[in-house]
């Protein structure tokens, strides 16, 4: 389902909150705006694509999008979404690139409270002080590695599309090269150029990021491991913890 993009020429306050209930597969067209965006799902999984990377935010995480960055948003499950639109001058302490941030319990409650404020809240009263606390807490959130760089070369993009369809595809780069119209050496060079990673490193990151959807849905670690190209659950758990600093079980929704 296509979502409409707000037609705002300016924000009514330094922070404007948009509350939405999204159906499975909701999406926006590619767009950008002059303010920052903090997209958070109270439940469900958000995907944000920019020209240079795919960012995935399961529940308890959010995607930070700086001003002027082309992006589109996909809701991967039934999702309760809160989008905070923030004027750049009050968000100077936030990252200058698109990233996934870990939402603390305090931040979650602040988002709940701020999302209930009137659009034109009193900036000089208790409502304005609440927004100021949220902005202070936002600047302290830790970054998570739930992103995979997007290759720009069309031959690498074909590999990306294939692995999105079958993350358990075990073909080597030499085997991909046979159908890509380029040599293995050329593809290897292009992967480093476009993503800063070797093919093996990049494919592992892609598999791990893609596994976040299945974890959010409550799938078993064993089935997720095999479905994403790992020979055993222990191999998947080890790779996941090395990449993200925590185990797959720690990423499950609290009510799973």
Task: List, for residues 195-205, the tens digit of each pLDDT value.
Answer: 999 999 999 99
Closest listed residue to residue 191, CA positions, set 162, 166, 160, 161 = 160
**The domain containing residue 181 runs over which residues?**
151-251
Q: Assign 256 a pLDDT band (cuts: 50, 70, 90).
A: very low
Same domain as 119, residue 161: no
Backbone angles phi, psi at 124, to 5 degrees: -100, 0
Q: What is the CATH number of the domain that holds 86?
A: 2.60.120.280
The residue from 144, 166, 192 where one domain ends is 144
- Angle of helix 173-180 versus helix 184-195 axis, rounded to 10: 100
Whether residue 129 is found in the same domain as residue 26: yes
Residue 213, domain CATH: 1.10.10.60
Number of domains in the chain: 2
Mean pLDDT within 102-118: 96
DSSP SS3 for 158: helix
Residue 156 lies in a domain: yes
Choose the final residue of a domain: 129, 144, 159. 144
Burial of 212 (0-12, 13-18, 19+ CB in 10 A): buried
Global pTM reads 0.91
Question: Are the beta carbons of 217 and 252 closer than 8 angstroms?
Answer: no
Q: What is the pLDDT of residue 253?
A: 66
Residues 29, 134 share a domain: yes
| pLDDT band with cut points at 50, 70 and 90 for residue 71 | very high
Q: If you average pLDDT over residues 57-79, what whole number do you get?
A: 91
In the chain, the N- to C-terminal Cα span, in Å, equals 27
The pLDDT value recorded for residue 22 is 83
């Amino acid at each position: 389902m296509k979502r409409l993009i707000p037609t705002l020429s300016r924000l009514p306050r330094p922070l404007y909150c948009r509350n939405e209930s999204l159906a499975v597969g909701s999406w926006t067209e590619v767009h950008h705006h002059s303010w920052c965006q903090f997209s958070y799902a109270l439940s469900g999984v958000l995907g944000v694509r920019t020209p240079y990377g795919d960012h995935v935010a399961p529940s308890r995480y959010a995607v930070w999008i700086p001003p002027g960055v082309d992006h589109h948003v996909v809701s991967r499950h039934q999702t309760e979404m809160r989008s905070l639109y923030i004027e750049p001058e009050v968000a100077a302490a936030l990252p200058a690139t698109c990233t996934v941030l870990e939402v603390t319990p305090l931040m979650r409650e602040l988002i709940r409270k701020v999302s209930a404020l009137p659009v034109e809240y009193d900036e000089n009263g208790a409502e304005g002080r609440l927004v100021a606390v949220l902005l202070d807490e936002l600047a302290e959130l830790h970054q998570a590695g739930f992103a995979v760089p997007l290759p720009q070369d069309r031959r690498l993009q074909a590999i990306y599309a294939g692995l999105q369809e079958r993350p358990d595809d075990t073909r080597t780069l030499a085997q991909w090269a046979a159908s890509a119209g380029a040599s293995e050496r050329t593809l290897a060079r292009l992967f480093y150029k476009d993503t800063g990673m070797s093919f093996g490193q990049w494919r592992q990151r892609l598999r791990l990021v893609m596994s976040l959807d299945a974890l959010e849905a409550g799938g078993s670690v064993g089935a997720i491991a095999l479905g994403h190209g790992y020979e055993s659950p222990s191999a998947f758990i080890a790779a996941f913890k090395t990449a993200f600093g925590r185990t797959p079980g720690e990423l499950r929704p609290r009510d799973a």
